[in-house]
Amino acid sequence: MPSTFSGIEIASRALQVNQTAINVVGHNVANVNTPGYTRQRVEIVASDPHTVPSMASTRPGQLGTGVEIAAITRARDELMRQRLQDIVGGQGMLTEMRDLLERVQAVYAEPTSGGLSSLLTQFFNSWQQLAVQPENHGVRTSVLQSAHLLAAQMRGLAGSLDQMQQEISSRLDLVVDEVNKAAREVATLNGQIRLSVAAGEHPNDLLDRRDTLLRRLGELIGAKAYNQTNDAGVAMGTVTVVINGFVLVQDTHSEALPSAYLLQDGVPYLTANNQRIAVTEGIVGGVLRASGLIGEYQSDLDAIAQTLIEQVNGLHAAGYGLDGFTGRLFFEGAGAHDMVVHRDVDGFPERLAAASPPDPGQPAAPGNGNNARAIAGIASQRLFGTNTLLDQYNANVARVGSDLDSVTKQAENRSTLVEQIDHLRSSVEGVSLDEEMTRMLTYQRSYQAAARLMTTLDDMLDRLINGLLR
């Protein structure tokens, strides 16, 4: 049978429950601007009654004992969280690639008067002018000047692409270091959360911190997280973090990722100790894919430089300078990185082989411009399938722009999708100040009512106890 003081116990529980609920509201309001915070809610249930009805019971039913808090949980939208986990890695990759390719496009500086396209045209035009005035010293000097500018732009462009590769390597080191740090924190939180769950608690703030780290790992490297369960299928509170089959975090242990990498069949891998970890998403994936594209741009530039050097040198070595000598090369170098005007002609305009070889049995005629005309004609030769040197270079530049345009559009679409899904998630999990104020007023009124109930019961007991003494 309930005691005389059971009403006070009911009122006391109501006061405690509503006080706790108001504290939870205050916690939500305090964290309204905290990144990654999930709104918490109080699950209030009726406490166990005094008796269980039976056939022998003469009472009308169970007598309630008031209210209690079953749990303080997070407002979760698991579907939206899963969707975000699936797509944030792609967003990180595309955004990183877009940012890097924008810098590559700026390196080419096309179309401008100082761009390689304009300098190639000037170079071949100077040879055409030399063909008309083969003995003009000023025109010969102009050929050397245009060659110097062209070679310098080749080296500068190649050097800028090399610099970007070095910056990408440094960027990769920083991002991988951030991944490893986040993985260690997730492993630590796994241990703390597991202990809390085993004690029957709801470690909401710890779970929020871990979820924030897991989302960041998705953005950084496309990692996916899976809840761990025991043999009975009950969640233990820990997660396993996986990157394309590679286990990054298992329980309270994390693996350190290497920063060495390679590209094989278009797929980027992080490599260490004969182990390959495919990275197809996240900022790391974007860095590695951008590095692969830049490597292709470098090869395209080298192919143009090598072809130009070979074609010009082949004709120049067969021609004659004003001094009557032949066999001299015009350029030296293996590609765009080290292309320079050859030392045999640099500073010696008279040595430019503008004249063609003489007919058999005839003396050399160093004053004709036939060889200069032939060198100028390289500009119109289809040396790359149906493309000339200039066509091929313009196609390479257009490829950079096309790659950037494609990645930019994909990045914009993916960002829009992430924003939409994140908005839907926030509508469930985020803190609304208006809603929290409404809840606060509700709990405040309930607290006031419980306090009034406590006062009434006190008056009743006072009358009962003290009134019987009179």
Lowest mean pLDDT of 148-157, 232-241, 282-291, name the range: 232-241
Cis peptide before 111 (omega within 30 of 0): yes
Instruction: Compute the CA torsion angle 350, 354, 360, 365 (nearest 10 deg).
Output: -50
Residue 226: name the closest of 204, 197, 250, 192 by CA: 250
Residues listed for the chain? 470
Structure confidence at residue 362 (pLDDT): 64
Structure confidence at residue 112 (pLDDT): 79
CB atoms within 10 A of CB 404: 19
- pLDDT tier, 436 (very low <50, low <70, confident <90, very high otherwise): very high
Q: What is the pLDDT of residues 119-151, one digit of tens each?
A: 999 999 999 999 999 999 999 999 999 999 999
Structure confidence at residue 363 (pLDDT): 64
**More confident: 154 or 275:** 154
Residues 182, 225 contacting (CB under 8 angstroms)? no
Average pLDDT over residues 73-99: 92
- pLDDT tier, 346 (very low <50, low <70, confident <90, very high otherwise): very high
Average pLDDT over residues 324-352: 94
Residue 308: name the closest of 352, 339, 343 by CA: 339
Structure confidence at residue 267 (pLDDT): 85
Structure confidence at residue 254 (pLDDT): 93
Decide: helix, strand or coil at residue 113: coil
Residue 124: name the closest of 315, 361, 384, 273 by CA: 315
Write the DSSP symbol of residue 115: S
**More confident: 423 or 49:** 423
Task: List b or e across 197-236, with b for residues whose CB sees 16 or more CB atoms inside 10 angstroms.
Answer: beeeebbbebbbbbbbbbbbbbbbbbbbbeeeeeeeeeee
* The overall pTM is greater than 0.75: yes
Structure confidence at residue 273 (pLDDT): 78
Q: Is the pLDDT of residue 438 over 90?
A: yes
- What percentage of residues in the chain have a pLDDT greater than 90? 72
Taking each helix axis as running N to C, give the angle between helix 389-429 and helix 116-132, from 0 to 180 degrees, rounded to the nearest 10: 170
Mean pLDDT score across all residues of the chain: 90
- pLDDT tier, 364 (very low <50, low <70, confident <90, very high otherwise): low
Q: What is the pLDDT of residues 163-209, one digit of tens each?
A: 999 999 999 999 999 999 999 999 999 999 999 998 888 899 999 99
- pLDDT tier, 234 (very low <50, low <70, confident <90, very high otherwise): confident
Q: What is the pLDDT of residues 1-46, one digit of tens each?
A: 556 578 888 999 999 999 999 999 999 999 999 999 999 999 999 9
CA distance 153 to 118: 11
The angle subtended at Cα 224 by Cα 221 and Cα 228, nearest 5°, is: 145
DSSP secondary structure string for all residues of 301-340:
HHHHHHHHHHHHHHHHHHSB-TTS-B---SEE-SSTTS-E
71 contacts: CB under 8 Å, gap ≥ 6 = 43, 202
Residues 17, 44 contacting (CB under 8 angstroms)? yes
Q: Is the pLDDT of residue 458 over 80?
A: yes
Structure tokens at 209: 């911190």
Q: What is the pLDDT of residues 243-296, one digit of tens each?
A: 998 999 999 999 999 988 888 887 888 988 778 899 999 999 999 999 999 999
CA distance 114 to 150: 9
Structure confidence at residue 31 (pLDDT): 94
CA distance 188 to 200: 19
Structure confidence at residue 263 (pLDDT): 84
